[in-house]
Amino acid sequence: MMHYGKAAATGLAAILLASCAAGQPMQMASASYPEREGAGLAHPELWPAFEYPVANPAPAEARIARLLARMTLAEKIGQLVQADICCVTPEEVRTYNLGSVLNGGNSGPYGNDLAPARDWLRLADEFWAASTDTSDGGLGIPLVWGTDAVHGHSNIVGATIFPHNIGLGAARDVALIERIGAATAREIRVTGQEWTFAPTVAVPQDFRWGRAYEGYSSDPAIVASYVGAMVRGLQGGPDNQNLLAGPYVIASTKHFLADGGTDNGTDQGDSSISEQELRDIHGTPYGPAIAEGVSTVMASFSSWQGVKMTGNHSLLTGVLKERMDFGGFVVSDWNAHGQVAGCTNESCPQALMAGIDMYMAPDTWRPIYDDLLARAQAGEIPLSRIDDAVTRILRVKERLGLLDAPRPSERLLSGDYDLLGAPEHRDLAREAVRRSLVLLRNDGVLPLAPGGRLLVAGDGADDIAKQSGGWTLSWQGTGLTNANFPGATSIWSGLHAAVEAGGGSAELSPDGTFTRRPDAAVVVFGEEPYAEFQGDRATLALDHPLTGPFETMRALREQGIPVVAVMVTGRPLYVNEALNNSDAFVVAWLPGSEGQGVADVLVGDAGGKAQFDFTGTLPAVWPLTPDMADGTLYPLGHGLTYASPRTAWTELPVVAAAAQAGDSRIWFAEGVPAAAWSLHIADPTQPGSQTRVTTVPAEALQGRARISAVNHVVQEGARRFEISGGEAALSVSNIEPIDITRETNADIMLLFTVKVDAAPAAIGVEMLGADGTRAANPVSLPANARFVRYGLPLKCLREKGIDMARVTAPFILTSEGRSDIALAEVRLGMDAEVVLPCA
């Protein structure tokens, strides 16, 4: 096998060509699998063959050939690059002839992630006009705008938010999927985008994965049964041409391949499975996608047998394009090229050679463009590969009708703002909610009598962001209130309306206290929103503070009030306590904006009879313990109905809380370090002055520092440092260096919650690398009477030269002069109250 470094003398082009000719992935002998010859090398002949059904009409082919012949090399390279609207201007799109833009989960027009719909359309026009401008002598090929409309047009305020895929998987209703695709396409067209990065066809095998809810099911057959329908709903059938003339957009099946098959469910991780499993579990949904003529495929961040997908020629080219005959184009994921062996975010010809046609280079589009162009000019990248990639992109643009379409605002459905959250779309979403609910227990309390007195409790009862999950308005789906969801209905409002319509009454009380004794209570609890690796967990336990409503259930039942538990969740989790402490238990998944769908099934008609029965069944197994060591509680396909015979409840075993924990992104919480972490105070000018802070009160820095406990949220939930003067450094460090490259790439912040009673003369946030490198960012933390959660983008620290793959102390608060500061929490996340500027 050839190695990039060893063969350097023969020139890059020779390596690229040689490895491709041999059908091998670009980064061959991968460092982590030195002993495994052929690891990550697929055998296309063992995979099922397909035929891409989309016609390439002769006039269109001739037109594409003519365009290609007239394009300069720079124009061709431009087509291969996709920038994020955060980090590119229309002027730059004009200058560099970029083929595409996207809005990442946290990007919105003019810097506003929650921008009104008309701003999205206005910006679409601006980018379109820039891309089609020919005044500089270019060909003016229109750009295509991609967005993550993954459960409805989910970045847009007011759009219909459908249940996340896991809930649709519970519904087992193929026709419903196609209708959802069609409604989503229509809403996307209102704001001028043409491309959605959906459907996700992951087949999650380990539900500790933070993206499990983006997959329909752990069963490849269920996923495969949905894919074609979703693609058809979005794009129209494979013979549909000129999509923009109708209510369509192009789709993207993602993430190729085995995004749901990584070891331990680690996001962007490695899947060490065999080629047969790769094909039969994770490859299965791509067949129906290709049979429906899906226009694009997004390559996965993850790797197979140690080789990153984005650099795997045998899979992207050998299997997907050649064996499966995929005729659209392959887009890479968010700077995923930077993870390919031998690549950086700024340079990665390997991805193109492996089979990527378009680079998603959100904030790195310029260096990627420069690098590809320079290498192409130097003859290091074969023109044939560039031409093939451009041709694929142009074919998709041609089929879309983009090459002849007017500006976005002049197209079908553009600016029809009433279509966003239109009643017929909301009805469809409500139907999807109804069909997705899974009943795990019913001792007879359901259906609820409409004429009775209902108490609705739990932290999820009246929280539309929580019931919508990640990828909703913002990337993580956090930082939102019900006011951000005009026209939407929470689970509480749905129940309230249904009970009142039946002549009864309802009271909302998150903590379960009530003014008048209810006949029954619904307690809504579950996961908080998350996306991607932010949702990775060490076990299948519900995060600790979110189990609070279990107490509410217990208390209500002790008073003789029957309890219906409604769980909002992206995945099956160990919640035996909640199952034990309820009289009925309903899994609502992440239902989205139409909470009435829950009431439709839970509340009976005037005669107390069910109006709608449960139809949902588990799309994956339900765990018996957080670590799944004792097998499953319920199998895939399980789900009760109103007709199910009543059986006596057998108490489920409850596991000790300590066995449940495990959120690796929290390093210091409630005033104490997490396991394997420690808090230190030192004088940076005095080697050896370091004191580990354990029990308090304590003194350090030879009497200059007094450390005590103060209350924050919980008793003694913070550590207070009163420093009389001089230099001091508070640090939170791990016994092993940690790797936070993924988080840095995604613009995650270092969050720390402090109360500053006396601000020092100077203060800074520092990070210490395993190689001794320090990155320092001066900040300003004014005195404040309350605790404030500050956030510093990790990128600020990376830019100062620290290796994010090996960080020893990710948080050091340095100060000079007298100060009085209490520290409550240090972790990673997006939910800062105050974002600190990069100095």
Binding mask 246-275 for ligand BGC (x = CB under 6 A): --------x---------------------
d(CA 322, CA 487): 47
Are 361 and 87 spatial neighbours (Cβ–Cβ below 8 Å)?
A: no
CA distances from 669 to 567, 747, 767, 825 (A): 26, 22, 19, 4
Q: Which C-beta is closer to ligand BGC: that of 698 or that of 805?
A: 805
Binds ligand BGC by CB under 6 A, chosen from 187, 594, 747, 825: 747
Q: Which C-beta is closer to ligand BGC: that of 315 or that of 360?
A: 360
Q: How far is the CB of 98 from ligand BGC (least distance, A)?
A: 16
- Residue 532 annotated to the active site: yes
The catalytic position among 214, 532, 583, 743 is 532
- Residue 333 annotated to the active site: yes
- Across-strand partners of 769? 807
Q: Which C-beta is closer to ligand BGC: that of 193 or that of 391?
A: 193
- What interhelical angle do 58-70 and 383-400 show, nearest 10? 130
Amino acid at 68: L
Name the phi and psi angles at 721, rounded to 5.
-115, 110
Q: How far is the CB of 793 from ligand BGC (least distance, A)?
A: 10
What does the DSSP 8-state code read for residue 419? Answer: G
76: its two tokens? 């061709």
The catalytic position among 113, 270, 333, 363 is 333
The three-state DSSP-derived secondary structure of 508-527 is ECCCCCCCCCCCEEEEEEEC
Q: Is 475 in the site for ligand BGC (CB under 6 A)?
A: yes
List, in order, residues 6 or more apart from 117 with CB less than 8 Å away: 156, 157, 158, 190, 191, 417, 420
Q: Is 612 in the site for ligand BGC (CB under 6 A)?
A: no
Amino acid at 805: A
Q: How far is the CB of 79 from ligand BGC (least distance, A)?
A: 19
Name the phi and psi angles at 227, rounded to 5.
-55, -50
Q: Is 532 in the site for ligand BGC (CB under 6 A)?
A: yes
257: its two tokens? 């391949």
Q: With left for phi above 0 and alpha for psi between -120 and 50, is residue 325 left, alpha or beta? A: left
A 10 A CB-CB count for 377 gives: 12
Q: How far is the CB of 267 from ligand BGC (least distance, A)?
A: 9
d(CA 525, CA 548): 9
Name the phi and psi angles at 600, rounded to 5.
-50, -40
Q: Which C-beta is closer to ligand BGC: that of 463 or that of 532?
A: 532
d(CA 348, CA 776): 30
Q: Which C-beta is closer to ligand BGC: that of 106 or that of 724?
A: 106
Q: How far is the CB of 738 from ligand BGC (least distance, A)?
A: 18
Q: Which C-beta is closer to ligand BGC: that of 102 or that of 768?
A: 102
Q: How far is the CB of 538 from ligand BGC (least distance, A)?
A: 20
Considering only residues 146 to 185 of the shown chain, the ones binding ligand BGC according to CB under 6 A are 148
Q: Which C-beta is closer to ligand BGC: that of 402 or that of 746?
A: 746
Q: How far is the CB of 345 from ligand BGC (least distance, A)?
A: 12
Count residues binding ligand BGC (CB under 6 A): 14
Binding mask 72-111 for ligand BGC (x = CB under 6 A): ------------------------------x-xxx-----
- Cα separation of the two ends of the chain: 46
Considering only residues 191 to 220 of the shown chain, the ones binding ligand BGC according to CB under 6 A are 197
Q: How far is the CB of 95 from ligand BGC (least distance, A)?
A: 24
Q: Which C-beta is closer to ligand BGC: that of 475 or that of 550?
A: 475
d(CA 458, CA 630): 29
Binding mask 320-349 for ligand BGC (x = CB under 6 A): -------------xx---------------
Are 93 and 128 spatial neighbours (Cβ–Cβ below 8 Å)?
A: no
Are 102 and 88 spatial neighbours (Cβ–Cβ below 8 Å)?
A: no
341: its two tokens? 């062996």
d(CA 588, CA 439): 9
Where do contacts with ligand BGC occur on this chain (CB under 6 A)? Answer: 102, 104-106, 148, 197, 254, 301, 333-334, 475, 532, 746-747
Residues annotated as catalytic are 333, 532
